[in-house]
Structure 1
Amino acid sequence: MTVLAIDQGTSGTKAIVADPVDGVVGLAEVPVNPVYLSGGGVEQDPGELLASVLEAGRRAMEQAGRPVEAVALANQGETVLAWDPATGRPLTQAIVWQDRRAEGLCAELAEHADWIARRTGLVLDPYFTAPKMAWLRRNLTTEGVVTTTDTWLVHHLTGEFVTDASTASRSLLMDLDAADWDPELARLFGLGDERLPRIAACDEVVGTTRAFGPEIPVAGLVVDQQAALLAEGCLTPGTAKCTFGTGAFLLANTGGTALRSPSGLTSSVAWRVRGDTPYCVDGQVYTAASAVRWIRDLGFIGSAADLDTVAAPDSGGVLCVPALAGLAAPWWRSDATAAFTGMTLSTGREHLVLAVLQGIAAQVAELGGLVAADLGAPLTALRVDGGLTRSRTLMQATADLMQTPIEVYPSPHATALGAAALARLAVRPELAIEQAVFDWTPSTGYEPRWTAERAAEFRSRWRDAVSLGLPRETPARPAPNSGGSA
């Protein structure tokens, strides 16, 4: 069956029309423009988000020139806005997942951090939804409803008021084991009186829309990273993927076990399909492609396509911690800053470019080690997707530092294809989940070239460099003592 799948992301909206036989037969991408404010604010214009969804979807449909049986939507996960449920009119800008202005609110709740981690599987941090919702209520408006962007977009498409289980699990408002809203958590964040959307399954038809032509079902709602996990076939416990986009996001399937990570990783619903709710553990690197854009803006490279030609074969002893927007797991330090070490008068741009790429890879390797510890077994392979997988230098560095084979997903549309698979499951109840996911083989593979000893020595020096970007007067936040797995 043919599906229109829309991936509404941080820097753009992508729409594909995908068919199991013919593959991707329609494609459109529309950029969106986050605004970076002083004080850690990151906002988007809701009107631009909606317009990008409609334009990308209609252009992809026009290019495909064929009818579709469903439209699916993958979303940013933790970006929120207030809006009028009677008219759909936005009442605020969208507060993006990268926004740090709720840091003070999280500090006020610090004594509850361990309890929150046990209940939700998440870390008390502005990255997640509830702190941003509470900050918005305190500082912008008390009118209307405040939800993640998926609920608002789906309302415009269908008139319904829903989110999906994977998105809800990123909110700090959901009991992870029950996979349902938790009134006690809502009251803790001052959101006890909020109207929260119904939590739908990811393989559920939530309504219909005429926004892209004839009336079609809307289904396959899911967070972007979980969509990619599904598309890359990570259907069994211990299988893992990393998306190299604006940030880098490593997720591993944990099956029916909702882990509570002692190392500061987070646990979420992977998807709710066919009545089952598997979970995943994940870690985040806040700056990946955004770090590459930074070195481009400094003039080190002309574009991301130059990475492999400019990067030196050896960094000459230079290390980089590219914490340009703070550090997530396992440090959870929004106040961390980037650092270069080991520079001399002989250091050139080529050494700095390689150091940035190795710094991204080092953070991913740290996450991979923590995931392996939580799972109780090393990862046998890491599946990867995203624009930066085109950099051979970055992928080889990741394989070297993780000491793990890397398998590159052959399509640039993993998120959209994962959402499309969920829409197929919604419309075709006879399908098993394995049948709905596109078959694939890696386009490229990377094996570790470094010895384990060399990788361990590099990672030790790199961890030491992390401390250079941490303000000395504030100790690093310890990982929540969450008491083991569920």
Structure 2
Amino acid sequence: MTGPVLAVDQGTSGTKALVVCPARGVIGSGFTPVHPRALPGGLVEVDPRELYDSVVAAGRTALAEAGEPAVAVGLANQGETVLAWDPATGAPLTDALVWQDRRAAQLCTQLAEHEGELKRITGLPLDPYFAAPKMAWIRRSLTGAGVVTTSDAWLVHRLTGAFVTDAATAGRTGLLDLDTAAWSGPALDVFGLAGERLPRVVDCDTPVGTTTAFGPPLPLTGLLVDQQAALLAQDVTEPGTAKCTYGTGAFLLAQTGTVPRRGDSGLVSCVAWRLRGRTSYCLDGQVFTAASAVRWLTGLGVIAGAADLDPVGGAVPDAGGVTFVPALTGLAAPWWRGEVRGSLTGLGLDTGPGHLVRALCEGIAAQVVELAGAAAADLGAPLTALRVDGGLTRSALLMQTQADLLQRPVEVSALPDATALGVAAVARLGHTPGLAVHEAVPDWKPSAVYEPRITPAEAAERLGRFRTAVARLLAEGAATAPGGTATAPGGAPAAPGAPAVAPGGTAA
């Protein structure tokens, strides 16, 4: 039995830290907000110093609450957020471009002829969501000095002096060979990054150095990108199992085992983790706006915050004919149309706040249904259930809507802060080499299970309205795009709803 570990989850809107004891569970916690700036033109950036300061503050708060020392620390990160920095001093040379940032869209258009090659090598489509286009944009537009990396490499360097990234985070760049889990020369060439000094790719359970940022020296023994950390914490370790995290965005990951799956559904194939020298893979689908769409409604004064979803939405029986496609920063998987913007249709004089709330819940849930259907298509079998975590799972309205549209049970994690718990597990593995993976991962148990309450026919009708609205947006985007034709990843014409889950859970 090892002692407590400090697990730090550096996220988009804040940093959460937990002190996790293998015998007693969470014995200390801390949270420090960060404040990314959303600017015109799809730009989203944050001061890197704020990220680092939030890590230190949240970690110190958690340790103070625990009242006892930790034996190791683990760090989870945002994945696709990048910056340039000076490796000699650790000073940032640019702001951090947050994963939602779209400023590299034109660069992706210029590289479009290489998309097939890049997807074959890295498993990722060519999209500014991922790190490599942002890294290349920084080099072309801001600075050629220092190194340009994902935010985790900078944070680890500030904490320990090491220059590393874990295999799962490296897999989010668009520069990692999916089969070998090593940097790809051809991919670096495509992005004009061949001469770059890149961090060493390490296993997620590798001791990388010692930090005094939280007080007495602590070994940093675990690194893992955020969504994969949540995947591990929910014990989604068998092929065909899946989870969805509802945070700033919503992210569905399905485990595929030791072999990467490169499907045609529009999902991303990437590294889940590399533990004990063994690589596991997953399929990954993204909804860019979930809690951020709730904050948007809050900013308009429709609700006072996420806690209002259930009372306001519960005041009306349905969405009143309103359809909301919450593509406020574009459509991600399976469409990959970042230029598309959201839509609200079916408004009338009788439309009230409750209808807008229900329409938003349906819009988020419908996108997750499309991701689940895409995963089913790539796996060759439907998902039997969906494990979920994240702040928005506190909304019974959203979770019931998800079960209704998916026509499958939705199992809500009893463990809050799944990302931090996942990185606590890899930190324990890195600290105790003889520990088995199943011994480090928390026991899975749901706090609630939502069963579908509507018929398959009603689910199909509601999904049909959403897909019609998406099709309209895609057609409008195609009409204004160069060449006039929208394409899905791989070059096929975009077919909204093509990989969706039909009622019953099979790929339609």
Is the pair's TM-score, using the shorter chain for normalization, greater than 0.5?
A: yes
> Letter of the aligned partner of 1:428 in structure 2?
T
Give 1:473's aligned residue: 480
Please say if residues 241 and 252 of structure 1, whose CA atoms lie closer than 8 Å, have aligned partners that are also in contact: yes
RMSD: 1.1
Check the 8 A contact 1:331/1:476 in 2, yes or no: no
1:387 aligns with 2:394: no
Cα drift, residue 370 of structure 1: 0.6
- The amino acid across from 2:431 in the alignment is V
Counterpart in 1 of 2:255?
Answer: 253
Of residues 106, 109, 127, the one that matches 2:108 is 106
Matched, 1:268 2:273: no
Deviation at 1:429, TM superposition (A): 1.4
Question: What letter is aligned with 2:97?
Answer: I
User: Which of 20, 23, 44 is residue 21 of structure 1 equivalent to?
Assistant: 23
- Alignment of 1:416 onto 2:420: yes
What residue number does 1:376 align with? 380
Q: What amino acid maps onto 2:280 in structure 1?
A: P
Is contact 1:339-1:468 (8 Å) kept?
Answer: no
1:210-248 CA deviation, whole Å, 9 max, x = no partner? 111222210210100000000001011011100000000
Matches within 5 A, 1:354-373: 354-373=358-377
2:86 corresponds to which of 72, 84, 87: 84
Contact 1:369 / 1:402 at 8 angstroms: preserved in 2? no
Rounded to whole Å, the distance in 1 between the matches of 2:201 and 2:275 is 13
Distance 1:143 1:346 in 2: 57
Partners of 1:367 and 1:123 in 2: CA distance: 15
Cα distance in 2 for partners of 1:46, 1:297 equals: 25
Distance in 1 (alpha carbons) for counterparts of 2:96 and 2:149: 10
- Give the match for residue 209 of structure 1: 211
Q: Aligned equivalents of 1:144 and 1:224: distance in 2? A: 26
Residue matched to 2:500:
none
Cα distance, 1:326 vs. partner?
Answer: 0.5
Query: How many equivalent pairs are there?
Result: 482
Give the Å deviation of 1:142: 0.4
Indicate the residue corresponding to 1:317 in structure 2.
Answer: 321
Poorly superposed stretches of 4+, deviation over 3 Å: none
Q: Does structure 2 conserve the Cα–Cα contact (< 8 Å) formed by 1:169 and 1:268?
A: yes
| Percent of residue pairs identical | 62
Distance 2:235 2:8 in 1: 19
Counterpart in 1 of 2:59?
57
Q: Is the 8 A contact 1:320 1:355 kept in 2?
A: yes
Deviation of 1:469 after TM superposition, in Å, equals: 2.9
Q: Distance in 2 between matches of 1:321 and 1:481?
A: 24
SS in 1 for 2:339: coil
- Helix, strand or coil for the counterpart of 2:41? helix
**CA distance in structure 1 between the partners assigned to 2:381 and 2:258 by the alignment:** 17
Structure 1 distance, partners of 2:359, 2:73, is 42
1:356 is displaced (CA, Å) by 0.7
How far, CA to CA, are the matches of 1:46 and 1:466 in structure 2?
A: 35
Q: Which stretch has the larger CA shift, 384-393 or 447-456?
A: 447-456
Report Cα offsets for 1:74-110 as digits up to 9, x if no partner.
Answer: 0000111111101101111111111100001000110
Q: CA deviation at 1:481?
A: 6.1
1:112-123 correspondence to structure 2 within 5 Å: 112-123=114-125
Match of 1:277, SS state, is strand
Q: 1:277 aligns with which of 252, 276, 279?
A: 279
Letter in 2 for 1:33: H
Q: Structure 2: where are the runs of 5+ without partners? A: 493-508
| Alignment check: 8 A CA contact 1:116 1:122 kept | yes
1:177 corresponding residue in structure 2: 179
Q: Normalising by structure 1, report the TM-score.
A: 0.98
Counterpart Cα distance in 1 of 2:293 and 2:260? 32
Q: Is the CA contact (8 Å cut-off) linking 1:70 and 1:217 kept in structure 2?
A: yes
3-state SS, counterpart of residue 332 of structure 1? coil
Which moves more between the two structures, 225-234 or 45-54?
A: 45-54
